[in-house]
């Protein structure tokens, strides 16, 4: 394997920049529980002599700090740190020179076993053994590529405040952690436990709803405050009397696939790194409450070592600056057997729904199941001399909402001013103005004359379904591979009608769909997986069409078929090769 990073090395994201630790003076590691604290004290001596340290502790090192926490044996060292003279700033290129690997992630637990173990956890809660258990499982895949390529792809598309990459020579660890275990700045120590998760919506309005529901959810608040209390108690062991404070409670943070609830706890301490780990490790957010008994339940049910997952990766300086993450969202590449492991979990309490918890875990795993490749947002507006921009406000609102959803750096005023200035240069004849908005806020435009198209427009039915959970179906972007492939493989016609995994109609490649049936003009519901077009919204608001769940068979049982958009408005369509296509589709559902 040709690797882009020399091993051993450590790359850590801290305070908006990357620090690269390479060419170590020496490495301190151990697989023995009784040597973990000795190693930490040796690391502290190196810090006292002006060196820097960077590395990790696995979850299995927990028993070094609390002998009553049972752990499984593991091939990984319990502690691995390298000693360095100094790190250097590292610029992580935004350009990717290779394809993201195709990985076949397989959960190492059946859904049946998962539900059974959740039931056992609830029995323990009922008997008073525990209040909350952070229950986890693995996903595995074969992997023969460069681990840094895997890390590079994901960290570019899923930026994480406490991301880290470690290559020991035998293993690589790719951490996309959003959770701070602790940071140390002189005598101030900060912990930021994360507990409480909700999936992202597919549009900004749904995002706002999901975020609000998470913030107001009594279950998630109870879980979060339970962990905060444990962190306060742990910090109290090493803090100056009266200095432990909760500075932020129930903050909601937005990531690519989920919302997370965090809280911040701070205090003053004079203790060094070994004592900090003795007091805090393992982090309460990845065990549950109470820590020791809950760890014993975890050992009983998980039946395998967690490894780096739920451990901690970080660095410390001789100036008493340290940052360590909670190693969640972390993959392990094992060079000896060309495998990659990724772990997921969630906090189980008495009223947890096992199906919801299982799906929450799978939501957390989406980060490694595909990459959000670079894309731009699109708005296509009709401009005529008589009317100006058609549905101008609706286009602005939709684009701004998508910018907010994806984190694009543009505001409403910038987009409005761009289009107003562009209007001065537009011709007298009707044109389609296509605006392309980049993530950094840059806007490009192009013009296309609007020429009439002969009706009826011939349309065919897509050969395969779209996935209604694909967020890009709900936004107008340059990610149009699904549409382009459908046109290439279509059985004739100028456009393609799409349907979802449940057999419900959605849209065409460039327009919304309307069927005239029994005197009513019906358009598919947005939740089926489609773009809420501005002209569609206009017609709905004026009660000229209505939403309905339309099946594929409705295409044969309707009076007329139309495609609609704000540039060409209404266009009558005619199906080609419909009967045979529907027969094939129905047999696949």
pLDDT bin (cut points 50, 70, 90) of residue 372 is low
pTM greater than 0.85 (yes/no): no
List the structure tokens of 97.
Answer: 């020179």
Q: What is the mean pLDDT of the chain?
A: 93
Q: Which residue has the higher pLDDT, 374 or 251?
A: 251
Which 3-state string (H, E, C) describes 417-431?
Answer: HHHHHHHCCCCCCCE
The DSSP 8-state label assigned to residue 528 in this structure reads G
Residues 6+ apart with CB under 8 A from 99: none
What CATH number belongs to 457-588? Answer: 3.20.10.10
Alpha helices in 433-525 (DSSP H): 481-488
Tokens of 473: 């179906």
* Per-residue pLDDT tens over the stretch 412-421: 999 999 999 9
Could you tell me which CATH number the domain at 377-449 has?
3.30.470
Q: Could you tell me which residue, 577 or 466, shows the higher pLDDT?
A: 466
Question: Cβ atoms within 10 A of the Cβ of 541, count?
Answer: 10
The answer to whether residue 575 scores a pLDDT higher than 70 is: yes
How far, in Å, CA of 529 to CA of 537, rounded? Answer: 15
The residues, ordered by sequence, that sit 6+ positions from 95 with a Cβ below 8 Å of its Cβ are: none
More confident call, 364 vs 351 = 351
Please tell me the CATH code under which domain 9-368 is placed. 3.60.120.10
Average pLDDT of the segment spanning 149-172: 92
d(CA 586, CA 207): 34
Cα 201 from Cα 213, distance rounded (Å): 12
Q: What's the whole-number mean pLDDT along residues 393-417?
A: 93
In sequence order, what are the beta bridge partners of 106? Answer: 140
Residue with tokens 């943070």: 253
pLDDT in tens, 293-304: 999 999 999 999
Residue closest to 405 by CA, chosen among 428, 375, 429, 382? 375
Contact yes or no for 399/377 (Cβ under 8 A): yes
Range name among 109-123, 354-368, 380-394, 537-551 with the lowest pLDDT average? 354-368
Positions marked active-site = 179, 195
- Domain boundaries in the chain? 9-368, 377-449, 457-588
Q: State the pLDDT confidence band at 588, using cuts at 50, 70 and 90.
A: low
Examine domains 9-368 and 377-449 and report if their fold is the same: no
The yes-or-no verdict on residue 95 having pLDDT over 70 is: yes
Strands 457-461 and 569-575 turn out to be: parallel
**Is the pLDDT assigned to residue 3 strictly greater than 70?**
no
Whether residue 581 is predicted with pLDDT greater than 70 in this model: the reply is no
Going by the DSSP 8-state scheme, the letter that residue 186 receives in this structure is T
Cα–Cα distance between 162 and 314 in angstroms, integer? 9
pLDDT at 374: 74
- Residues 345 and 360: their CA atoms lie apart, in Å, by 8
């Amino acid at each position: 394997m040709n690797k882009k990073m020399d091993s051993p090395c450590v790359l850590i994201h801290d305070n908006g920049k990357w620090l690269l630790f390479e060419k170590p003076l020496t490495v301190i590691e151990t697989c023995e529980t009784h040597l973990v604290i000795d190693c930490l004290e040796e690391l502290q001596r190196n810090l006292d002599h002006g060196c820097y340290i960077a590395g990790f502790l696995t979850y299995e090192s927990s028993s070094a700090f609390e002998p009553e926490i049972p752990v499984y044996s593991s091939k990984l060292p319990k502690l691995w740190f390298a000693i360095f003279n100094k790190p250097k700033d590292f610029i992580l290129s935004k350009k990717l020179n290779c394809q993201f690997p195709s990985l076949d992630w397989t959960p190492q637990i059946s859904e049946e076993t998962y539900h059974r173990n959740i039931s056992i956890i609830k029995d323990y809660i009922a008997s008073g053994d525990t209040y909350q258990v952070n229950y986890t499982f693995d996903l595995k895949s074969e992997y023969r590529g460069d681990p840094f390529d895997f890390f590079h792809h994901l960290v570019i598309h899923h930026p994480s405040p406490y991301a880290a990459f470690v290559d020991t020579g035998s293993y690589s660890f790719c951490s996309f952690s959003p959770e701070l275990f602790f940071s140390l700045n002189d005598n101030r120590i900060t912990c930021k436990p994360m507990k409480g998760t909700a999936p992202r919506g597919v549009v900004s309005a749904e995002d706002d709803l999901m975020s609000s529901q998470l913030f107001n959810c009594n279950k998630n608040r109870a879980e979060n405050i339970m962990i905060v209390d444990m962190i306060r108690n742990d910090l109290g062991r090493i803090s100056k009397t009266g200095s432990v404070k909760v500075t932020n409670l129930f903050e909601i943070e937005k990531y690519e696939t989920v919302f997370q609830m965090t809280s911040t706890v701070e205090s003053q301490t004079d203790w060094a790194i070994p004592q900090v780990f003795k007091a805090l490790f393992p982090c309460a957010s990845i065990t549950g409450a109470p820590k020791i008994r809950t760890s014993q339940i975890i050992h009983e049910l998980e039946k395998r070592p967690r490894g780096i997952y739920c451990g901690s990766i970080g660095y410390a300086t001789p100036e008493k600056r340290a940052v360590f993450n909670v190693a969640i969202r972390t993959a392990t590449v094992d060079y000896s057997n060309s495998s990659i492991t990724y772990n997921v979990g969630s906090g189980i309490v008495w009223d947890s729904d096992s199906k919801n918890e299982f799906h929450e875990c799978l939501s957390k795993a989406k980060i490694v199941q595909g990459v959000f490749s670079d894309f731009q947002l699109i708005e296509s507006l009709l401009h005529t001399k008589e009317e100006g921009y058609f549905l101008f406000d609706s286009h602005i609102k939709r684009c701004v909402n998508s910018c907010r959803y994806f984190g694009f750096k543009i505001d409403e005023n910038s987009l409005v001013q761009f289009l107003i200035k562009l209007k001065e240069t537009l011709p007298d004849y009707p044109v389609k103005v296509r605006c392309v908005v980049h993530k950094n806020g840059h806007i490009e435009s192009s013009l296309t004359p609007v020429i009439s198209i002969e009706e009826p427009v011939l349309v065919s039915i897509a050969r395969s379904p779209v996935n209604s959970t694909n967020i890009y179906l709900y936004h107008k972007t340059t990610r149009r591979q699904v549409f382009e492939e459908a046109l290439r493989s279509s059985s004739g016609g100028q456009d393609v009608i799409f349907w979802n995994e449940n057999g419900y109609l959605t849209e065409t490649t460039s327009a919304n769909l309307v069927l005239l049936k029994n005197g009513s003009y019906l358009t598919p519901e947005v939740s089926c997986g489609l773009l809420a077009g501005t002209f569609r919204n206009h017609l709905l608001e004026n009660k000229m069409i209505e939403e309905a769940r339309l099946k594929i068979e409705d295409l044969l049982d309707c009076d007329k078929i139309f495609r609609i958009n704000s540039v060409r408005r209404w266009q009558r369509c005619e199906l080609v090769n419909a009967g045979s296509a529907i027969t094939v589709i129905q047999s696949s559902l």
